């Protein structure tokens, strides 16, 4: 297996497995690999920081002293935009890496955008990369899908409560 990787013409930083390691260790993306408790804590931090932006805008539309329930609901919904944007960014980043790992042919640039090349992965490299997708990246997508489903349920619940208030 090592001989195929050492004969790989793809620059080290553009090899899919190295891109995966770099993404896995980067600031926002490593949050997906944490325990559920730590992951939820990070998402709540993003939501809380987004609340600081959303609540003054909500207060301009619904004065908290008059329409407290509406103010809370619209602030929470506005703050959720931060979570939605973070989830979208996580999904796009992990999708790119998943696609690079699953693909049998890798596009890479030797020195710039004008001299792109392709490399066909040997079978053992392709198998290794697909195992990483199956056992490392697939659980991340399941977590992101559960997060999206939970957010959708919260939006539905918020809409119902809005109409009842």
Is the model's pLDDT at 66 over the cut of 80?
A: yes
Mean pLDDT, to the nearest integer, of 53-80? 95
**CA-CA distance, 140 to 44, in Å (whole number)?**
18
Is the model's pLDDT at 4 over the cut of 60?
A: no
User: Which pLDDT value is given to residue 6?
Assistant: 59
Looking at the whole model, is its pTM more than 0.75?
yes
What is the token pair recorded at 86?
């973070």
Domain range list for the chain: 11-164
Per residue in 74-131, pLDDT (tens digit) is 999 999 999 999 999 999 999 999 999 999 999 998 776 677 889 999 999 999 999 9
Is-contact 39 31, C-beta < 8 A?
Answer: yes
Is-contact 124 155, C-beta < 8 A?
Answer: no
Per residue in 126-145, pLDDT (tens digit) is 999 999 999 999 999 999 99
Mean pLDDT, to the nearest integer, of 9-36? 94
Percent with pLDDT over 90 in the chain: 87
User: Which pLDDT value is given to residue 116?
Assistant: 84
**Alpha carbon distance, N-terminus to C-terminus of the chain:** 64
Strand partners, 119: 106
Confidence of residue 5 (pLDDT cuts 50, 70, 90): low
């Amino acid at each position: 297996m090592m001989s195929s990787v050492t004969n790989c013409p793809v620059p080290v930083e553009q090899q899919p497995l190295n891109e995966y390691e770099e993404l896995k260790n980067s600031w926002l993306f490593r949050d997906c690999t944490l325990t559920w408790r730590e992951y939820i804590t990070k998402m709540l931090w993003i939501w809380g920081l987004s609340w600081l932006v959303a609540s003054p805008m909500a207060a301009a539309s619904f004065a908290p002293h008059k329409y407290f329930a509406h103010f809370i609901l619209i602030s929470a919904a506005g703050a959720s935009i931060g979570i939605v944007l973070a989830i979208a960014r996580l999904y796009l980043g992990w999708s790119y890496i998943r696609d690079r790992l699953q693909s049998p042919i890798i596009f890479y640039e030797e020195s710039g955008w004008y001299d792109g090349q392709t490399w066909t992965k040997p079978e053992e490299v392709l198998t290794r990369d697909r195992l990483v997708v199956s056992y490392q990246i697939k659980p991340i997508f399941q977590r992101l899908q559960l997060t999206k489903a939970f957010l959708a349920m919260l939006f539905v619940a918020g809409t119902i409560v809005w109409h009842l208030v």
